[in-house]
Amino acid sequence: MDWNNDEFEFEKDIEIDVDTEIDFDTEVNLEVDKDVDVDIKVETEVEGNSAFLTADVEAIGKDTFVEVDTSVLAVEDQLSSVVIVGAAVVD
């Protein structure tokens, strides 16, 4: 046998029979004791004007399209504006 030869051919037939029986039995007991005590205090000091925006545009699946157009305008002590146009299309 020539061990420096780059060519190698191999052929193998595999025949397998698998016969299994699996029994799975489980019991789950869940007990939740939850005590939530929340104290929330929000203080704001706004000077001038503000505009806020949160958006989520999402398309999932085959042949999807997502587009978001946003415009923000702020004029000191006169105007704050946020405009958004969103499109999410599936198929």
What was the pLDDT predicted at 47?
75
Contact 57, 70 (CB under 8 A): no
Q: What ranges make up the beta strands (E) of 1-91?
A: 64-75, 79-90
In one letter, which amino acid is 25? D
Taking residues 6-19, what's their average pLDDT?
A: 73
Q: Is 80 exceeded by the pLDDT of residue 4?
A: no
Query: How far apart, in Å, do the first and last CA atoms of the chain sit?
Result: 60
In angstroms, rounded to a whole number, what is the distance separating the alpha carbons of residues 79 and 46?
14
| Per-residue model confidence as pLDDT tens digits over 16-57 | 787 878 787 888 898 988 888 989 898 887 777 777 777 777
- The answer to pTM > 0.75 is no
What was the pLDDT predicted at 5?
60
